[in-house]
């Protein structure tokens, strides 16, 4: 297969963390790439490295997916690109604060990044996947979307949306060879907590054994595709956290402990 015939894998939020790990994984597998993020310099550095090491084509798109017009632009580019076999909707971030006190614009921006962009990019690539009867979409959610809890309302709600979107799409496409996965990682070593909004987050408050590397999350996600599991939580500890948090007895204990920790930081 020559380079032009290689299928494309599209990854949003590809400049660091889980998105970068997916990009590196697909490059090793021989896919051409379309990598999307806000930081153009990071994208270019990654593109040059992966093209040189793996002899693939890497296209970069600088886009801020909190802006509807930039989501629209990416949507049109993907609609025009043939032979897309993978889409990883990974772009995302967190903001601290309660629903009432958090800035409305920042909350709407998060909805755009997590939900509107993911929804629209699924819409961009699915027609060609259905036509070829093959393709995979991974929507990067979070265990927060599975846990009934107090906390950041906007983040939890947008991540729950991605889970429902994935389940509904998979049901609609159950008679095809297209796979949809809602990837729900827990604490991950990535650039997620390196933002200005989360600079006060104390990483040591979470035991090391509960952290996973971005590479491990991406690798486990791809391995889980063969099991045809739409909602996938990587790591036994993360699955245990979800189960216990949603139980009536242990859930109350976990929430109580979390509230004490948060109150001490204020």
Mind listing the pLDDT tens digit for each residue in 217-257?
999 999 999 998 999 999 888 888 888 888 765 655 555 65
d(CA 174, CA 187) in angstroms, rounded, equals 31
Over the Cα atoms of the chain, what is R_g? 18
Question: How many angstroms from the chain centroid is the CA of residue 188?
Answer: 12
Instruction: Write the pLDDT tens digit of every residue in 135-166.
Output: 999 999 999 999 866 568 999 999 999 999 99
Residue with tokens 């629903």: 99
Please, what is the average pLDDT of the chain? 87
Instruction: Write the pLDDT tens digit of every residue in 95-104.
Output: 888 889 889 9
Phi, psi of 188 (to 5 degrees): -130, 135
d(CA 232, CA 220) in angstroms, rounded, equals 9
d(CA 207, CA 132) in angstroms, rounded, equals 45
Question: How many angstroms from the chain centroid is the CA of residue 132?
Answer: 25
Q: Whose CA is closest to 18, among 112, 118, 140, 120?
A: 140
Assess contact for 64 and 70: CB atoms under 8 A.
yes
Tell me which residues are annotated as active site. Answer: 155
Global pTM exceeds 0.85: yes
Bridge partners (DSSP) of residue 35 are 11, 60
Q: What is the pLDDT of residue 262?
A: 42
CA torsion 185-113-191-259 (nearest 10°) is -60
Instruction: Write the pLDDT tens digit of every residue in 196-225.
Output: 554 454 445 555 665 689 999 999 999 999
Both structure tokens of 114: 């997590």
CATH 3.40.50.720 fits 3-236, yes or no: yes
**What angle (nearest 5°) sits at the alpha carbon of residue 22, between those of residues 8 and 13?**
90
Evaluate if residue 191 carries a pLDDT over 60: no
d(CA 153, CA 116) in angstroms, rounded, equals 17
Instruction: Please give the share of the chain, as a percent, with pLDDT higher than 90.
Output: 69
């Amino acid at each position: 297969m020559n380079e032009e015939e290689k299928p494309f894998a599209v990854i949003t939020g590809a400049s660091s963390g889980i998105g970068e790990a997916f990009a590196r994984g697909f490059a090793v597998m021989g896919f051409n790439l379309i990598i999307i993020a806000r930081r153009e310099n990071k994208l270019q550095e990654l593109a040059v490295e992966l093209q040189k090491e793996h002899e693939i084509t890497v296209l970069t798109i600088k886009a801020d997916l909190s802006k509807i017009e930039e989501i629209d632009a990416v949507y049109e580019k993907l609609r025009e690109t043939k032979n897309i076999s993978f889409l990883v909707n990974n772009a995302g971030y967190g903001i601290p604060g309660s629903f009432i006190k958090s800035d409305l614009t920042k909350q709407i921006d998060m909805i755009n990044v997590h939900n509107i962009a993911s929804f629209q990019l699924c819409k961009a690539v699915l027609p060609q996947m259905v036509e070829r009867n093959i393709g995979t979409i991974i929507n990067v959610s979070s265990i927060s979307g599975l846990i009934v809890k107090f906390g950041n309302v906007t983040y939890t709600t947008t991540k729950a949306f991605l889970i429902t979107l994935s389940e509904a799409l998979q049901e609609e496409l159950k008679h095809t060879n297209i796979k949809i996965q809602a990837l729900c990682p827990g604490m991950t070593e990535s650039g997620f907590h390196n933002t200005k909004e989360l600079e006060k987050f104390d990483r040591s408050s979470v035991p090391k054994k509960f952290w996973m590397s971005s590479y491990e999350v991406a690798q486990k996600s791809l391995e889980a595709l063969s099991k045809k599991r739409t909602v996938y939580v990587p790591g036994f500890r993360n699955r245990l956290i979800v189960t216990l948090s949603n139980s009536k007895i242990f859930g109350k204990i976990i929430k109580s402990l979390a509230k004490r920790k948060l109150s001490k930081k204020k």
